[in-house]
Amino acid sequence: MAKVTLQTIADKVGVSRMTVSNAFSRPDQLSATLRARILTAAEELGYAGPDPAARALARGSTGAIGVLLTDSLQYAFTDENATGFLGAVAAALAPTGLALTLLTESAQQRDVIPARDVAVDGALIYSCNPGSEGTAWLLRRKLPVVLVDQTPEPGSASVNIDDYGGAQAGAAHLVELGHRRIAILSVSAVGPFGELADPVPAGISHVTRQRLTGWLVPLTAAGLRPTVLQQPTNATPAAEIAATRRLLDSADPPTAILCFSDAIAANVIRTIQDAGLRVPEDLSVVGFDDSPLAERVRPTLTTVRQDVAAKGRAAVAALIEKIAAIEKAEQAPVAAGTAAIETAAIETATIETAAVLLPTELVVRNSTAPPPGR
């Protein structure tokens, strides 16, 4: 069967090819009756519509934004924080008509690099590793981007939560309960791994650095030196269980453990209970994120709440505003004079450097109590 084109439809209706094109892309240029005739003919001929790539080229936009993930796509659908964030992003995009495209760092074939090759109008760079190749490609393409859970960079918009303040609150809670032997289970994309001599090593991600630094503030003020165990970000539950057992079997085991996430905290609690100990009577555990898991685990988890839905909404709002400002700056007509062009450029620069910091909150539940003997 011959391919149906705009010209095929034009010949059937008896109009020009441009008229048929306008029926799909510029309906305001046609009467309702003529447009209905064209669309009916298109349906009868089995025409699916203009080629998306060609329409994107003509418009100068794709109608989609990307979200760059360091981890595999499986992470986006299994981690409760990631699913909450992406759900909020999708909800915020719905009224705009923009589609959501997930971009991964890795590719099965090196000649296909999603951050380099997939067409998008802008991107959210979400919790990516330092030195991320995907981030470098998106920036090299000069796309509008918003950094999420990343170190704020000059000239770039960013959305973060107050990891530092939240970690401080979690550690201060344990100090106030009277704990003196406290351990930290953290994660990083880069080593060293295992027990850290330097509790805040170089090269770690923004979120890890902020949480480690925040935990240390009240502990150091109380004269405490915590044991810090760091694992890879992709560590398995078995590795988290092994790390917890290492703490429990040490010569001077902790009475409380601060965990990088609720998911880690849940495995820590299970390991403590499997060892015949009780939470919080023998050991207290504090998580981070306040994901739905925090209320499912038993005992319910004391943790630091972050609003992932607000983070998703803020990230989309910043990106949409940035895309619009860049389009305005590019379209500022020379005829309007240099003042209009300069105003558009100032607005663009202001958005590019906007840094949103969302609050965190300590939520005290049943996994923390004073240490044994108090």
Domain ranges of the chain: 6-50, 64-161+309-358, 164-306
CATH architecture of the domain 64-161+309-358 equals 3-Layer(aba) Sandwich (3.40)
In 239-312, where do the E strands start and end? 256-259, 284-286, 303-306
* Range with top average pLDDT, 48-52, 141-145, 263-267: 263-267
Of residues 20 and 110, the one with the higher pLDDT is 20
Nearest residue to 290 (alpha-carbon basis) of 316, 332, 259, 314: 259
Strands 227-232 and 284-286: unpaired
Mean local confidence (pLDDT), 255-264: 96
- 3-class DSSP assignment, residue 261: coil
Residue 371 in this model has a pLDDT that exceeds 90: yes
Residue corresponding to tokens 């539940």: 365
> Which of the four pLDDT bands, split at 50, 70 and 90, describes residue 147?
very high
Q: What pLDDT, on the 0 to 100 scale, is given for residue 335?
A: 46
Residue 189 in this model has a pLDDT that exceeds 60: yes
Mean local confidence (pLDDT), 275-298: 97
Q: What are phi and psi of 249, to 5 degrees?
A: -90, 0
Of residues 166 and 114, the one with the higher pLDDT is 166
CATH architecture of the domain 164-306 equals 3-Layer(aba) Sandwich (3.40)
Of residues 367 and 58, the one with the higher pLDDT is 367
Position 291, amino acid:
S
CATH of domain 6-50: 1.10.260.40
Mean local confidence (pLDDT), 29-41: 91
Mean local confidence (pLDDT), 176-181: 98
For residues 146, 151, 154, 158, the Cα torsion angle rounded to the nearest 10 degrees is 30
Check for a shared fold between 64-161+309-358 and 164-306: yes
| Alpha helices (H) along 111-236 | 114-117, 133-140, 163-177, 206-221
Residue corresponding to tokens 């441009």: 18
Residue 170 in this model has a pLDDT that exceeds 70: yes
Q: What pLDDT, on the 0 to 100 scale, is given for residue 352?
A: 59
Residues paired with residue 357 on neighbouring β-strands, in sequence order? 160
**Contact predicate 71/232, CB 8 Å:** no
- 3-class DSSP assignment, residue 45: helix
% of the chain surpassing 90 pLDDT = 57
Residue 214 in this model has a pLDDT that exceeds 50: yes
Enumerate residues 6+ apart whose C-beta is below 8 A from 129. 70, 105, 189, 190, 205, 233
pTM score of the predicted model: 0.81
Q: How many residues does the chain have?
A: 374
Residue corresponding to tokens 């499912």: 296
What distance in Å separates the CA atoms of residue 100 and residue 4, rounded to the nearest whole number? 29
- Cis preceding-peptide flag for 299 (omega within 30 of 0): yes
